[in-house]
Amino acid sequence: MAWASVNGIRIHHESQGSGEPVLMVMGSGSRGRVWDLHQVPTLTAAGYRVITFDHRGVPPTDECADGFTLDDMVADTAALVEHLGIGPCLAVGTSLGAQILQELMLVRPELISRAVLMATRARTDTMRRALSAAEIDLHDSGLRLPPRYAAVIQAIQNLSPRTLADGEQIQDWLDLFEVSAPTRPGTRVHMGFSTMPDRTRAYRDIDHPCQVIAFGDDMITPPHLGEEVANAIPGASFELIQGCGHYGYLEDPEQVNKTLIEFLRLEG
């Protein structure tokens, strides 16, 4: 285990491979090691050094259960890049991780060279705001869903109909979700990040090459929200990968990894 003491907390991080560094920024509530299943092996085989880490609120990084903000997480990411001495670096983020990178490119543009932004958005629409509020109300009520029920809801929200219809695949996912349901103090703080102000106008000031990837069956961040980010960032590219939900980088890693490698290898 490697640790960085930054911003008054300890952040757990891992580095694999050698070559040009790529910082991988995971979404809300998930460990950085999720990238290890598909993206890390592909990127290290392609000659990159891949850095993954766990956000505050996600053990073994400090949980900070008393509260923290998105700005804190952006500052953590910046401090980790500086601690490792890898800036300006290539970066890949998904969901909340992509939003962190978007904000980082505004406040500390010298730390990032180019970025892939998956399952991202520049604002919260009415349905996603309602979903976030409902999840927070459920959490704050003290009611805890049976793990099996919570696993089914997580699958419906994050996976594509194609995966849901595959009996063997979906059983594996349900088993995984059932044993990994988050119960950490930092979980409640992360829930609040699902609602964000409209940052569309602000993202017009991002001056970095960016590749936005949206997933056709994503219920958490539908494709039209990702396309809005691509349209806001000058020169950004947009790719829609069909047949995937919010976890598209796990459902179709071959296509996602192909796009990652092609974009990261571009010059300029």
Q: In what order do the strands lie in the sheet with 112-118?
A: 2-6, 9-16, 48-53, 20-25, 89-94, 112-118, 210-215, 237-241
Q: Contact 162/243 with Cβ under 8 angstroms?
A: yes
User: Between the CA atoms of 119, 243, 261 and 237, what dihedral angle is there, to the nearest 10 degrees?
Assistant: -60
Task: Choose, from 95, 132, 160, 194, the residue flagged as catalytic.
Answer: 95
User: Phi first, then psi: what are they for 135, rounded to 5°?
Assistant: -65, -40
Task: Choose, from 54, 76, 218, 252, the residue flagged as catalytic.
Answer: 218
DSSP 192-221: GGG-----TTGGGG--S-EEEEEETT-SSS
Task: Choose, from 12, 55, 208, 246, the residue flagged as catalytic.
Answer: 246
198 included as an active-site residue: no
User: Phi first, then psi: what are they for 185, rounded to 5°?
Assistant: -60, -35
218 included as an active-site residue: yes
C-alpha atoms less than 13 angstroms from C-alpha of 123 in its C-beta half-sphere: 13
C-alpha atoms less than 13 angstroms from C-alpha of 121 in its C-beta half-sphere: 24
C-alpha atoms less than 13 angstroms from C-alpha of 140 in its C-beta half-sphere: 9
140 included as an active-site residue: no
Q: So which residues are the catalytic ones?
A: 95, 218, 246
